[in-house]
Every structure is written in C-alpha cells, then in structure tokens.
Structure 1
Amino acid sequence: TFAPITPEPQKPDPVFGLKFTIEARHGGTVPVDLTTLDPRPLAIAFADALRRSAALGGSIGAATVIQQYVQIYRRFFAWLNHDAPGVVGVSDLRAVHIDGFARTLERGGMHPTFHHRVVSIIVNTLRAIDANRPDWIAPDLHGRLRYILTTSKGRSIPRDAYSPFVARALRDAARADVEAIFRRLSAEDRTEDKPAIARARAKVEALIARDGAVVATGPEVRHLYYMRERHGMPSSGLMDDLHGRYHLLAPDLPPLLVLLTLDTGLEPECLKALTVDCLANARSGTVELRYLKRRARGAEHKSMRVRDGGSATPGGLIRRLIDVTSAARKHLPGDCLWTYHQDGGLRTGILVSKYHFASWVARHNIVDDEGKPLNLWLSRLRKTHKALWYTKTEGHMARFAVGHSREVAARHYADLPSLRSLHEATVADAFREVVAATRSIVLVPAAEQALREAPEQAAPLMPTDTVGPLLDGEQDVWLAACTGFYSSPYADTGSPCAQPFWGCLDCPNAVITARKLPAILAFLTFVEEQRRGLPASDWAAKFGHVHARITAQVLPAFSDAVVANARQQMASERLYLPPEARG
C-alpha cells in the first residue's frame, strides 16, 4: 500500500575549495577565504574542521571566534612555509611542528595568555580532524594533542577602570547625545523652503517609510540631489539626514552603548546581543533585564534587576530603543534590539568599528586623566561601573559581588590599579584605628579642667564618680593615672596588671596628665642614657618604641611652657625609677 522508499541522493559538500561562508550561531554571517594558504591539502583539512566546529553542536558559536581561527591559521601556515616546508598534508604533521610553532611565538615576546590561546586554536583544529579522520594523525602527534602547552598560561592582566573624572565626562556626553537622538526621531516633519525640494523630499521619505531604506542611486534620490544642487543647497550627509528621521544611525550607537554600559555594568558582548523581549517582570520601579552570556557554559541565560522609569533609567532607555527601532525591524529578520541604518542599508547587530567610538570621543573632546585623547574601550566601561559600585558599597563583598562569586569579583573587579589608592588608604586607616585603640589617653591642662567641670564626658571610659579621684592622683601608677589596675587588657579580670611600668604609655586604661610629665621626662632621660651603654639593636628592641611614643606623641600634645615647667620639677625633685627599668 506504500510507495517504495527511494533514498535521497547525497547532497554535494557545500565547501568548494577554500572559500565559503559560515552562518555563525552568534554574530551573523562570516565569509571565510583560505585560498591563499599553502599547502592546499592541509588547508582543505583545516577548512573542513573549521566548518564542522562552527556547525550546530560544534565548539565554535561566535562570529568573532571564527575570525580569530582564520587569523591564526594564516599565522600557522606562514610558519610552516618558512620552518617546515616538507609538510603537505595532515599526515605530515608531527609533535615537533606544534612545539616549534609554540617556541616561535614565545621567542616573539607573546604574553603567556595569548600564547596559550594561539596554540590552543591549532591543537583544537587538529583534534577536530582526529575525531573525523583518526587515520590521518601520526602517533606522536596524537599524543601531543592531549595538552596545549607544558607551561602555565599565567594570570591575565585585567583591564583597569576609568577614573571617576573620565566616567563623568563619558556619562554627560552620552546622555546629551541620547536625548538629542530621541528628539530627532520624534521630531515633526521637516519643512523645506523650496516647494520643489519639499516635493522631491516627500517622495524619498515615502519610499523610506515603505521599504525601510533607499539607495543613493535610486531615481527619486538622484532627483532630490539634483534639485538641491540646482538651488545651491549642500547635499553632504543627506542620506543620513533622510534616514535619521526614521531609524538609528551607526554614529548613534557609541553614546547608547556607553550610557547603557555605565548604568548596568553589562558585558559588551551581552549588551550587543540584547533582544526586544529582554525586559520582564517590572515591579517597584525596577525591571528584570534578561541577557545571554555565552561564556557561562551551562548557565548562559542570566538576568539582573535594573532601574525602570524614564529614559534616564536603564529600563526606560531600553524601552525607548525598542520603540524607535521597531520600524527598521519590520524589514529585517530576527529580534535583535540593535537595528540601524549604515552604508546605504538597514543593519542588525553591532557592526560599528573602532573608528565610530574614536570619532565620538573626538567630537566631545573627552580626554583621560593626563589630558590626552581618551582611548575608549567598552570592556573598561564595565570595569568603571564595577569600580564605582565598589566605592559606593565601601568594599562590602556581599553587596558588591553581583553576578559573580566573591572570589571572581574580588580578583577581576576589585583588585584594579585605579582602586589601589583606596585600598592603601583603608589599610592605613585600619592601622591608625588599631594604634589609637591601644594608646593611653593624653589630657592637656585645658582638657583636664573641662573634664573636672563635666565629669559625665568620661562616662564611656569610667564611672562619673571616679573622675575626681583619678585626676587628683589617687589612682596613679608610675607614668600615668590608671582607670582599671585590676581590669588590665593584658591580664585576667581581677588580677593586677603585669605589664612593665612603661607599658602604661600604650595602655588604653592609662590617663596621662601634666602632673605625670616630670616622671615621664625622668624616664626619658634614663632611656637616652641607656642608648650609650647598650648595643643599638638591644636598645631599639627594649626602649625604641617607648622612646618614640614619648618624643613623638606624648610631649608634642603639651605646650612648650608645660613641658618646661615639668623639666624644672624633674630637676628639683629626686625621682627614682622602679627597679624593673634596669632589669
């Protein structure tokens, strides 16, 4: 009852020679031209491996990675032609060829990270060939394909963040341009002074509204050029002017990307891959931003909460972009957020070059911290967003590590050269707090009088009723008054203090007043006399710290008159040092 099944004839290989096109899963179409590679049999094997690796289910999914493979192939084949001319096909390759190519890269001064990446592309290609045709791979090369390099690829050097000064300049310039873009797209119809030019322009704009774009060689556009030239009107930038009222233009992308990156901190590759359905679950002035991160193997689909409202918020800006790009999206396949006019046609996806970013920076005269023209990198903008958020959260890792583990956030986004001064200042402040917490309290005569008049000021340190006896000398030890001889931080509570008497100079229980200066000066005289009789290392170990404490911190707190009066008392009174000073 069924017709006999006739097997379909096998389709010919779509790869003809070494020139073909790959439809990448991410990034669009990539034309591949390997016709200049020699030897040809080896080049055909590499081309076939590249095509299979970039197919559905293969290890290569991004257009940029395919382009990297092609560039490394050219470098590897150039090395083979120079250093291994006997290699014709895959079966002629040996382990020494992989190692020789790696040594050449290393001698050229290539950074270990890039060195590892370049060699891995060649090894991965040969692994793909081995998986398809294992009989082509020599035994020693088969063993060599088990690893990339015997040396470590090292730690990559993270890009630094821009300073807050540069970030503010970029944000202000981008926000001004974005507002101008939306005003341009929402402007009413432009009126021309000349009726003939207005009619010609109306015909062209009708075609743009219908077809999405026009080319400069079309009859209607040529007629408009002719009419403007006839009336002595300039035509420079006319195509951008015509399409700019309906679509985004390529020069509009740098400020949009800069502003969104600074506001969200999204990775550049994730930002470029946003789709029109990236916003969801709006609530309480925020919205969920969904994006694709291809590098996160097994967890590519991610989301973050961003502010939502007017165009000054990330959510509001993306909503405006979805609205203004809807007209261009009717004429383009896919759901990519980024649709715009460039080079006489509508484009989808971010295809702008470094030139557009440099031109935008130059137009706004944005400079770096040294006053030089800024070299703008989107990846550094992400670091800038992270650095600003790190400063705002005061380094609190639980709040700072959004979208990353704490270890990754600390290594890649907190350990930046631009944040080094902040870290050093924080460490210095911590040391100062520790030292201050262990110091004795120095009361100059004015402060002592104020404490007598208002004893409640000492409440955090001691009971109010003990202030008077302490200041009157009833709780004196040798160099200070002690607020708690039996509650020393250096002994168990209830036990007497076991520190040497000069330990009071670093004890938080000690209160040093002008009344104790004669004893302190007498001890200072003794310490300086000991310098003459002890080796320098022994003297520094025993008395170096206390000497610095007296001369640099205690005595400078008192006026010269108070210190001079204390010296007179020391000379007139016979002050004896405790026996432990000579122990």
Structure 2
Amino acid sequence: MSRRGRSAALPKTGAPTDRGLLPGTLIVRCFAQKGSAVHDFDFSQLAAAPDIQRGLAIAFAHRTAPGAGLNALESMRSSFRVARQFTQYLATVSCPPVTLSDVTGDHIDGFQAYRKHAPHMPMELGTLKTLLLRAADLPEALTAKLHEANPRYVSGADPKTSYSRAEFKRISDAARADLRTAAARIRANRALLGRYRAGEVADPDRRLELLDFVDRHGDVPRNDSKSNPGTHNIESWVQRGRFGGVMEIVSWLHLTSLEATAAATLLAVMTGENISVILDAPAAHHRADGHAGGAATAILDTCKPRRGKRAYMNLALTEVPDWISIPERPEQLSFRDELHTPFGAYALIHELTAGSREVTGSDRLLIGYHPAGGHRGWPRGLRIPRGPYCFRAWAALHNLPSDQVDASGSRRLDVLPGRIRLTYLELHQKPVAHTETTLVNDYLGRNRGNFAAYREVVAAALGEQVDKARARGVMDVVSKAEVERASTDAEAIAAKHQVDAATLQRMLDGELDTVMNACVDNGNSPHGPAGQPCRASFMTCLDCPCARALPHHLPIQVLVHDRLEAGKAQMSPVTWAHRFALPHAQLTDLLSRHDPIDVADARAVATDTDRALVTRFVNRELDLR
C-alpha cells in the first residue's frame, strides 16, 4: 500500500520458467548461478538403456537444483560429461545393466579401470559417485560402494610442475608490458575523444566520429545484410581500410581479448588466486583504507562455487608491492608504476575496462573485445575471457622462452593458470583460499617444478632451527632416581637443580606445574619484566632457566612431541620448520635423556585429559599474549 492509500504496483507474473527435467523429455534444463542463459542437457543422447537414461537425468536434475551443490556451468558440464563416459563404459560390458538398480560395485570398479589413463580419473570417479547418490532406489551394496574413498591420484599421471623464478618473471613482465601499452593507447584516445566532443579538434576523415561510435557501442558501425539475412556487414566507409581492422579500431578504447588475458595473468601472478575467481572478479569493491592516505586497499567479493557453503570470500588487494614482483633494481620503481602492487594492477584494469562495462552493462572487472564467437556459442564483442584457449593464444603471441626443452624439442613457455597458481604457492608457502593441508597435499606435495631447490630451502630452515636448539639447550631435568632420593636427601637434590628444599617439594607435589614442566621462579622470567608474572608462551619453557622437568611431565612432553611431528603432514615444510622445528628439536633432545622404555610407557599411559590439554596447547589456546 502506498502512502496515498493506493495499492502499490506489483511485478507482472508471467508463466514460470521451466527448470529441471522437462515434461515428456529426457532434457534437464539448468540455470547457472552466474549469467541468465538457459543450458539444456539431453540425456537421450547417452549410450544406455532408456531407464538408465531417465535415472541419470533425474539424478542430474536433483544435483543441479538450487542449493544442491552444482551451480557453476562448468561443473554442470563436467557432471554431464562423466555421465556420458559412464554409459559409454556400460555399453562395453558383456551384459549391460538396464536400470540403475542393476548397477553394481563391480561396474564402479570397472569404470575406474576404464578411465585409468585419464589424469583426472579420481575427480571423475568422485563426480560419478556424487551423481549416482542422487538417484532413487539404489541397492544397499551399491550405496556403500559409492561412499568409499576415492584414490588421490592416478599412478603414472604427469605431476604438476611450477615455473622457475626466471620463467615466472618473464610471464609477469610480458603481462605488465601489455597493460602498459594498452593504458597508453586508451588514455591517449580518451583524451582525444574528450577534445573532439568539446569541439576542440576537427575530423576531416571521420576517424574521430568512428572513435565516438566505438566508445558508445563497443563495435564498428554495421548494417543488415540484404543477401544474407541475420548477418551484419561493416559499413562501407569503415571497410575502406583507412582505419585498420575491426580489432584495431575497437582497441582504440577497449582492451583486446589478449590484453584482458594479460590482465588476468598478472592478477594471478600477484594474488595466487584460482583463475575462475579472477575471471569472474567484480568491478565493485570496498576501499578498506577509506581514501585516508594510507596504503590503498580494495576488497572484492569473490566466489568459488565448488567450495559450497564457503564459496563466497573476500579478496584483498593492497598497494604494498609483493616481494616477488620487485625488480632486480628496486630503485626503478616509481610512484606511477602501479603494476607492481596488487591494488595498482586492479586500479589500472578497473580504469581501462570502465568504458566496456558502460557499453555492456556488465559488473565484471575483466572485459576484452573478441573478434569472433567462442567455441561454446559465445558471440563476438566485449566479454570476459573464457577457457584455456585465451591463455594459449596469449603465450603464443609472446613466444616466451622456457628454461628447459620439452619432449618435442620446443623451448617455448606454455602459460597455464594452474602452473601460475602453483608457482605462487611454492614461492609464498602459504595457502590461498584453501587449508594448509590442501596446500601441502594437493599443491606442494605434487609439485615437481623446483623440487631440488625447494628441498634446499627446507633443509636450510631446519638446520637453522636445529642449530638454535643446540645453542640454547633444553630445560633442566630431574631424573626418576633423583626423585626417589629426594625423600632422604632433599637438600642435595635441591642444590643440584639450583632450588631450595621447599621449592623442590612443591615441584614434586605438582604445585608449580605449567604444561610440560614446573616453573621455579615465575616472577623473574627472562621473557618478561622483573617482578612481573611471566606471560610468555609455555613453549618457551623448553629453554627457560626457570623450568624444571620431572618424570610426571613425561606423558605431556611425549604427546607434544608427537603432535609437532604429525604437523609435518598438515602444513608446508618451510612453515613447519619456522614454527615448530625448534621446539621439536628441543623435545627430541629432552626425550633422549630418558630411557626409551620410559618414553614408550609415558605414551601408553597418557590420558584423554592429557590429549585435550596438548590440543589446546598446540593450538595456542593457553597463550597469555
């Protein structure tokens, strides 16, 4: 109801758009989360019995329903492709199943063997299982099979390889050069267009008129073809060759598709983000610095659909130069050389594509002119770069040299977004939009690019921490025999460990316990002001002169040692070396002072309460600062 008492106008309600399995067909209609185009998948094309086709179509409709998990077009296509591969396999067995209830665990194993040559077989197997679990009336044995873990890799598959530092620099330098060239061209033509519209310059050959048209329409003037209806010919006055080809003309004010690819490449080099996140990055952003004069920071709302509930995330682009991007001579950097910081690169790309967004009405950051339609029906014109073709074409244009000769004898460097991301992760040793476990297992653990150099870095970091441990030593240890003697000769034992008899008794009674030891002088710690209670991490007790280790502390010490050891598989080796190699070496030395049988017994008698304490301790929940 409006404030004047009239009913407010409501949106017109037309016929609802069909989605899912269309009535009377085996076509599943889907709508991707990004974009409004309709995507139909025809399951009648699958090489299988009609009931299997329908069963897979129904499962696919459930899988692609809103909130069901598949909301990106590429993921939908991948799931349909795997369904087609599975039916192709079923057609090869001696007695193909007729319904999905006839499918057995042997068929799943057979499909795995059928696709064993494919590097992405584990992913395909997982996609198939997830799809089949959406089907109805599956046998219990098959359901159990579908819940089994997938293999992590295909034996013999080519490992991932990162670029060398020199190759990485060649790629980033080429991308920066493309954007600098584009910026000079577009800025000069925009300034010229402004003067033309203000009436300050003449236009004898209609070049400036064409410049104005390109700015308003993102294309050259065209007319309907009389001989070939449905096509649009370029106006004759533009075809005379005075102004160059269509790509050259449109690029007066807009990025080309390859320049947009260069922009995506540079953002990938400087952020390590997945290329799908970069290609779909929005132009809208939040300035976290508030334009207050500090280091400029733009925060973008990005989306990685396959992360499910964690799909939406922020991407912060700062004006601080990334250490990898700094040239060999840092003094060459200037205030206006914006392409050596993530924020600077983003700001320039945002500026260069502003006119393209105005023409297309798009909210995307990366837009370039494509002279022809894409291989999946994308039209020519201003749009986001898609698919690996753009990167292959950009790499071919620059013909960058590789450090090594490949199997075919070529020294040309292939530019692949996945390798760029892997190289960033290797150089920075920190996760980007994933966990440290994923970083170690799915990226660094499978990387064979600079493996020898990487091992040298890890070895150097470990050696440095072990040297520190040897130099500092470890806490004083009160042995089991000394504890027994303390009942009859407390003064001697106390003097040996530089405490008085009363303090020794409090140590034996557990009154001075921290986590892994007893503290005999909490008010005079070397890690804090004299006379003030110590607030340092309990991990620093390992080399503190106020710490004393007694036999009843051994179970906790063993658990902490084991937990640090297990952490090697959960984070990158360099990160582990810097964070835990020192206490791990100190604990190793400490445990070596005990009889191995006592250490084994301590591990066996550790309680759930001890384990809970160690979990909180290692997670730094017990730190006071």
Is 1:48 matched up with 2:87? Answer: no
Is 1:285 matched up with 2:295? Answer: yes
Amino acid at match of 1:329: R
Amino acid at match of 1:271: I
Alpha-carbon distance, 1:206 to partner:
4.7
**Cα distance change, pair 337–435 in 1 and its aligned pair in 2 (3 A):** closer
- The answer (yes or no) to whether the contact 1:213–1:345 under 8 Å persists in 2 is no
For residues 185-204 of structure 1, the C-alpha deviation after alignment (integer angstroms, 9 at most, x for no partner) is 2223599xxx99933x5565
Give the corresponding residue for 1:37: 46
**Cα distance change, pair 215–419 in 1 and its aligned pair in 2 (3 A):** farther
For residues 240-283 of structure 1, the C-alpha deviation after alignment (integer angstroms, 9 at most, x for no partner) is 12222232221212211111111122221221221122343126
- Give, in whole Å, the separation in 2 of the partners of 1:336 and 1:429: 42
Match of 1:69 among 62, 69, 79: 79
For residues 430-465 of structure 1, the C-alpha deviation after alignment (integer angstroms, 9 at most, x for no partner) is 6699799999xxxxxxxxxxxxxxxxxxxxxxxxxx
Alpha-carbon distance, 1:151 to partner:
6.3
Amino acid at match of 1:350: P
- The answer (yes or no) to whether the contact 2:369–2:380 under 8 Å persists in 1 is yes
**Range with greater deviation from structure 2 (341-350 or 373-382):** 341-350
- Give, in whole Å, the separation in 1 of the partners of 2:356 and 2:57: 36
* Percent sequence identity over aligned pairs: 18
Amino acid at match of 1:299: R
For residues 507-559 of structure 1, the C-alpha deviation after alignment (integer angstroms, 9 at most, x for no partner) is xxxxxxxxxxxxxxxxxxxxxxxxxxxxxxxxxxxxxxxxxxxxxxxxxxxxx
Match of 2:273 among 266, 278, 281: 266
RMSD, matched Cα: 4.0
Amino acid at match of 1:53: R
Amino acid at match of 2:182: I
**Cα distance change, pair 160–59 in 1 and its aligned pair in 2 (3 A):** same
Is 1:87 matched up with 2:97? Answer: yes
Give the corresponding residue for 1:542: none
Is 1:23 matched up with 2:13? Answer: no
- Give, in whole Å, the separation in 2 of the partners of 1:436 and 1:98: 53
- The answer (yes or no) to whether the contact 2:223–2:232 under 8 Å persists in 1 is yes
**Cα distance change, pair 187–95 in 1 and its aligned pair in 2 (3 A):** same
Give the corresponding residue for 2:172: 171
- Give, in whole Å, the separation in 2 of the partners of 1:121 and 1:434: 45
**Range with greater deviation from structure 2 (180-189 or 268-277):** 180-189
Is 1:300 matched up with 2:307? Answer: no
Amino acid at match of 2:249: L
Amino acid at match of 2:313: K
For residues 552-577 of structure 1, the C-alpha deviation after alignment (integer angstroms, 9 at most, x for no partner) is xxxxxxxxxxxxxxxxxxxxxxxxxx
Give the corresponding residue for 1:117: 123
Higher helix proportion, which one?
A: 1
Is 1:102 matched up with 2:112? Answer: yes
Amino acid at match of 1:387: E
**Cα distance change, pair 28–270 in 1 and its aligned pair in 2 (3 A):** farther
Alpha-carbon distance, 1:93 to partner:
3.6
**Range with greater deviation from structure 2 (357-366 or 12-21):** 12-21
Give the corresponding residue for 2:427: 388
**Cα distance change, pair 167–117 in 1 and its aligned pair in 2 (3 A):** closer
Give the corresponding residue for 1:420: 452
Give the corresponding residue for 1:368: 402
Is 1:338 matched up with 2:366? Answer: yes
- Give, in whole Å, the separation in 1 of the partners of 2:468 and 2:364: 59
For residues 471-507 of structure 1, the C-alpha deviation after alignment (integer angstroms, 9 at most, x for no partner) is xxxxxxxxxxxxxxxxxxxxxxxxxxxxxxxxxxxxx
For residues 290-342 of structure 1, the C-alpha deviation after alignment (integer angstroms, 9 at most, x for no partner) is 33233444333333543328532221222232333333323445522223322
- The answer (yes or no) to whether the contact 2:317–2:346 under 8 Å persists in 1 is no
1:497-576 correspondence to structure 2 within 5 Å: none
Secondary structure of 1:42's aligned partner: helix
Match of 1:245 among 243, 252, 259: 252
- Give, in whole Å, the separation in 2 of the partners of 1:172 and 1:45: 52
Asked which structure has the greater CA Rg, the reply is 1
**Cα distance change, pair 207–438 in 1 and its aligned pair in 2 (3 A):** closer
- Give, in whole Å, the separation in 2 of the partners of 1:169 and 1:357: 15
Alpha-carbon distance, 1:79 to partner:
1.7
For residues 355-381 of structure 1, the C-alpha deviation after alignment (integer angstroms, 9 at most, x for no partner) is 332232222221221151112211211
- The answer (yes or no) to whether the contact 2:218–2:382 under 8 Å persists in 1 is no
Secondary structure of 2:146's aligned partner: coil
**Cα distance change, pair 234–115 in 1 and its aligned pair in 2 (3 A):** same
Amino acid at match of 1:100: G
Amino acid at match of 2:134: A
For residues 96-127 of structure 1, the C-alpha deviation after alignment (integer angstroms, 9 at most, x for no partner) is 43343334334xx445xx33332333332222
- The answer (yes or no) to whether the contact 1:116–1:149 under 8 Å persists in 2 is no
Match of 1:354 among 388, 396, 410: 388
Q: Give the paired residue count.
A: 402
Q: Give the structure-2-normalised TM-score.
A: 0.55
**Cα distance change, pair 331–96 in 1 and its aligned pair in 2 (3 A):** same
Is 1:315 matched up with 2:347? Answer: no
Give the corresponding residue for 1:183: 184
Secondary structure of 2:175's aligned partner: helix
Amino acid at match of 2:309: G
Amino acid at match of 1:383: L
Secondary structure of 2:389's aligned partner: helix
Give the corresponding residue for 1:144: 142
- The answer (yes or no) to whether the contact 2:368–2:385 under 8 Å persists in 1 is no
- Give, in whole Å, the separation in 1 of the partners of 2:52 and 2:221: 43
**Cα distance change, pair 48–186 in 1 and its aligned pair in 2 (3 A):** farther
Alpha-carbon distance, 1:205 to partner:
4.7
Amino acid at match of 2:255: L
- Give, in whole Å, the separation in 1 of the partners of 2:217 and 2:23: 34
Amino acid at match of 1:153: P
Secondary structure of 1:341's aligned partner: strand
- The answer (yes or no) to whether the contact 2:223–2:234 under 8 Å persists in 1 is no
Secondary structure of 2:168's aligned partner: helix
- Give, in whole Å, the separation in 1 of the partners of 2:460 and 2:432: 28
Unaligned runs of 5+ in 2: 1-13, 197-201, 226-230, 320-334, 373-378, 406-410, 472-625
- Give, in whole Å, the separation in 2 of the partners of 1:203 and 1:18: 52
Alpha-carbon distance, 1:169 to partner:
0.8
Amino acid at match of 2:422: K
**Cα distance change, pair 14–162 in 1 and its aligned pair in 2 (3 A):** same
- Give, in whole Å, the separation in 1 of the partners of 2:350 and 2:461: 48
Amino acid at match of 2:68: G
Amino acid at match of 2:347: R
- The answer (yes or no) to whether the contact 1:328–1:346 under 8 Å persists in 2 is no
**Cα distance change, pair 77–433 in 1 and its aligned pair in 2 (3 A):** closer
- Give, in whole Å, the separation in 2 of the partners of 1:300 and 1:9: 32
- Give, in whole Å, the separation in 1 of the partners of 2:218 and 2:357: 9
Match of 2:68 among 30, 34, 58: 58
For residues 124-159 of structure 1, the C-alpha deviation after alignment (integer angstroms, 9 at most, x for no partner) is 2222221xxx4xx4xxx3431234375651358873
Q: Give the structure-1-normalised TM-score.
A: 0.59
Give the corresponding residue for 1:573: none
- Give, in whole Å, the separation in 1 of the partners of 2:44 and 2:388: 28
**Cα distance change, pair 318–127 in 1 and its aligned pair in 2 (3 A):** same
- The answer (yes or no) to whether the contact 1:123–1:145 under 8 Å persists in 2 is no
For residues 392-437 of structure 1, the C-alpha deviation after alignment (integer angstroms, 9 at most, x for no partner) is xxxxxxxx45655544444455554314324236536866997999
- Give, in whole Å, the separation in 1 of the partners of 2:441 and 2:463: 24
